Amino acid sequence: GDAAGQALPVESRPFASYGSALHIALPQAPRAGQLLTLLIDYEAGEGPGVCWLSPEQTAGKQKPYMYTQGQAVLNRSFFPCFDTPSAKFTYSATVKVPEGFTAVMSATSWEKQKDNTFVFKMSQPIPSYLIALVVGDIVSADVGPRSRVWAEPCLIEAAKKEYDGVIEEFLVVGEKLFGPYVWGRYDILFMPPSFPFGGMENPCLTFVTPCLLAGDRSLVDVIIHEISHSWFGNLVTNATWGEFWLNEGFTMYAQRRISTEVYGLPYTCLEAATGRALLRQHMDATGEDHPLNKLRVVIEPGFCLFLGINPDDTYNETPYEKGYCFVSYLAHLVGNQSKFDAFLQAYVNRFKFQSITADDTLGFFLEYFPELKEKGVDSIPGFEFDRWLNTPGWPPYLPDLSPGQQLMRPADELAELWAADGLNMEAIEAVDITGWRTYQLVYFLDQVLQKSPLPEGNVKRLSKMYPKISKAQNAELRLRWCQIVLKNNLEAEYSKVKDFLQSQGKQKYTLPLYRAMWGGSEATRALAMEIFSATAPQLHVNVQNYVKKILGLGDAE
């Protein structure tokens, strides 16, 4: 309180390969519920949670930029904290920055004071990984009654155009489905191109990749995913990273519920089919029985932390897409969409501002639907809840995506035509793809990639026929086009792979392309080395290390 307080002995002890433990000796054992005020004087900034960008790593190329990334266990390098999602707290911060820079944080209120000092308060309890800070040459523009976009000045017009009016529509549908939006504002910050993720759902201020500025609103549904975290992940949180599916599986389900309301069922099923294809690719690459392909992954608590299994290294498609299948299976057991929607609202209301385990979730589900508990739905042979959680491999239940068939069928048929030995140009020209939306094109390219390598010359013809695809600015299309170019050794377009990897550093786009290059010919391996040596400095340190691992470079951490 107001007393000067007394100095306490501290020591740093080994904990894991990603951080040490700060031990503080208290003068006497505290009572349960007693409030302590602890003042820790510390310096930070070298660790992996704090990213310092040089001007050339930004969009404007004029001024440096810094941001923090807490998920999963990186905020321990930004400030001393109980860095586990099982603990939640409010916070406040005072941030002084140089003239010409602006600071923003994931906080419910902020004000600018004199001397370029910003004061932030988060009035709702959140886990440590959701505290985030950005300092840069950034400006904002309103895009809705409770939303603005933040970006570097050179991007702000594009950001405003792409998102004006869109966010509020998604928030309103989310509230209708899952209950009140409790965070006040929902702002979006467009990060520099080197940001390694698609989005990071920091409360009140989602960080997103500038790849979402496709110019035609074709990728705004990524924002639906981050908005869905406002209920699943940020409000109801997994207590350990070993049950990350509680954040991501529920968020995928919520995202697709909002998408169904906004864009209709066929389009949502198509998007879900591309998600399923990603899960298939991931499981083929790792082997289905890989221990990471369970929904309950053993990483913590306990001695495993000392083995240095970093929760960040467990990041993959399983918690997202297999998690989505499990939530869909629960909905299937209920058998009535509006009843399951009501359950989700009750679930959020029951566990809001808490951190929970899968046992809490499934226990509440059976308590909410006593007639299902009575029937013993948790132990139906082959679909046991225990099997879902603890057995690796392909999901036992897959939701029906057949409403997407009306969009998938034409894409399947067109891919077949392009994979044929002699191209039937008459049939190909009869298919008009001008009206196809992003995920229909993505689905088409996924099919072409699966059939690759195509007969000699086909990909070259395809490229010429559809500049809408081969010259796309949309990152999802660029990723797949680059994969097709590599799989078919289309050397004339290797420059597109280079351009794409130079334009952004998102992990989801960067790693698959390096894997494809490294698994290909001598020429593509040389290309991988050439691109990496040119772009390494602009990549996030974690992404640099993952690429080094793929390329077999010795000094990967």
Contact 202, 152 (CB under 8 A): no
pLDDT tens across 525-550, in order? 999 999 999 999 888 888 999 999 99
According to DSSP, the residues that pair with 237 across neighbouring strands are 355
Q: Is 226 a catalytic residue?
A: yes
Q: What is the pLDDT of residue 303?
A: 40
Quick one: 380 and 431 in the same domain? Answer: no
Q: Tell which of 325, 357, 390 closes a domain.
A: 390
Quote the tokens at residue 128: 């440590």
Q: Is residue 556 part of a domain?
A: no
Q: List all residues 6 or more positions away from 205 whose beta carbon is below 8 Å from its beta carbon.
A: 104, 105, 106, 107, 132, 150, 185, 187, 188, 189
Residue 400 lies in a domain: no
Q: Is residue 26 part of a domain?
A: yes
Q: How far apart are CA 7 and CA 455, in angstroms?
A: 74
**Diameter of the chain by CA atoms?**
86
Are residues 489 and 473 part of one domain?
Answer: yes
Range of the domain at 470: 408-551
Q: Which of 91, 320, 329, 443 is catalytic?
A: 320
Q: Please give the Cα distance from 412 to 196 (Å, whole number).
A: 32
* pLDDT confidence of residue 2: 54
The angle subtended at Cα 460 by Cα 455 and Cα 464, nearest 5°, is: 140
Same domain (yes/no): 74, 179 = yes
Does 259 lie in the same domain as 180?
no
Q: Are residues 386 and 458 in the same domain?
A: no
Residue at a domain's end among 390, 419, 435: 390
Distance of CA 192 to the CA centre of its chain: 16
Give the residue ranges of the annotated binding site. Answer: 69-71, 196-201, 225, 229, 248, 506-508
In-domain check, residue 365:
yes
Are residue 114 and residue 155 in the same domain, yes or no?
yes
d(CA 7, CA 40): 10
> Per the annotation, where are the binding residues for Zn(2+)?
225, 229, 248
Contact by Cβ (8 Å): 300, 242: yes
Peptide bond into 455 cis (omega under 30): no
395, two tokens: 């999901």
Q: Cα–Cα distance between 334 and 517 in angstroms, integer?
A: 46
Rounded CA separation 409/146 (Å): 40
Sheet strands side by side (includes 147-151) = 139-144, 147-151, 187-190, 205-208, 199-200
Here the CATH number for the domain that contains residue 467 is 1.25.40.320
Q: Which of 18, 65, 163, 226 is catalytic?
A: 226
Cα 167 to Cα 60, 221, 225, 320, 327, distances in angstroms: 25, 10, 12, 23, 25
443 catalytic? Reply is no
435 and 332 within one domain: no
Q: Which 8-state DSSP code applies to residue 209?
A: -
In a domain, 147, yes or no: yes
Terminal CA-CA length for the chain: 43
Domain finish residue from 167, 195, 230: 230
- Alpha-carbon gap, residue 282 to 278, rounded angstroms: 6
- Specify whether 62 is located in the same domain as 208: yes
pLDDT of residue 305: 43
226 lies in the same domain as 296: no
Output the domain CATH number for residue 263.
1.10.390.10
CA atoms within 13 Å, Cβ hemisphere of 39 = 7
Q: How would you list the strands of the sheet with 117-127, edge to edge?
A: 88-96, 117-127, 109-113
**Domain containing 114 — which CATH number?**
3.30.2010.30
Distances (CA, A) of 516 to 296, 471, 527, 550: 29, 20, 11, 10
For 288-329, the DSSP string reads TT-GGGSSS----SSGGGGGT--GGGG-SSIIIIIHHHHHHH
Question: Does residue 332 sit in the same domain as residue 190?
Answer: no
Residues annotated within the binding site for a peptide are 69-71, 196-201, 506-508
The residues facing 327 across adjacent strands are none
Q: Specify the pLDDT at position 541.
A: 81
Pair 215, 282 in one domain: no
Buried b (16+ CB within 10 A) or exposed e, 164-201: bebbbebbebbeebbbebbbebbbbbbbbbbbbbbbbb
**What's the token pair of residue 527?**
């290309």
Question: What is the pLDDT tens value at each position of the chain, 557 positions in all?
Answer: 456 788 999 999 998 888 899 999 998 899 999 998 899 999 998 888 999 999 988 999 999 999 999 999 999 999 999 999 999 999 999 999 999 999 999 999 999 999 999 999 999 999 999 999 999 999 999 999 999 999 999 999 999 999 999 999 999 999 999 999 999 999 999 999 989 888 999 999 999 999 999 888 888 878 999 999 999 999 999 999 999 999 999 999 999 999 999 999 999 999 999 999 889 989 998 899 999 999 999 875 444 444 456 787 778 999 999 999 999 999 999 999 999 999 999 999 999 999 999 999 999 999 999 999 999 999 999 999 999 999 999 999 999 999 999 999 999 999 999 999 999 999 999 999 999 989 999 999 999 999 999 999 999 999 999 999 999 999 999 999 999 999 999 999 999 999 999 999 999 999 999 999 999 999 999 999 999 999 998 888 889 999 999 999 976 44
* Coil, strand or helix at 50: strand
pTM: 0.92
Residue 557 maps to a domain: no
For residue 335, is it within any domain? yes
Q: What is the pLDDT of residue 285?
A: 85
CA 332 to chain CA centroid, Å, is 26
175 and 155: one domain?
Answer: yes
Number of domains in the chain: 4
Q: Is residue 322 part of a domain?
A: yes
Residue 329 amino acid letter: Y
Say if strands 205-208 and 187-190 run parallel, antiparallel, or are unpaired: parallel
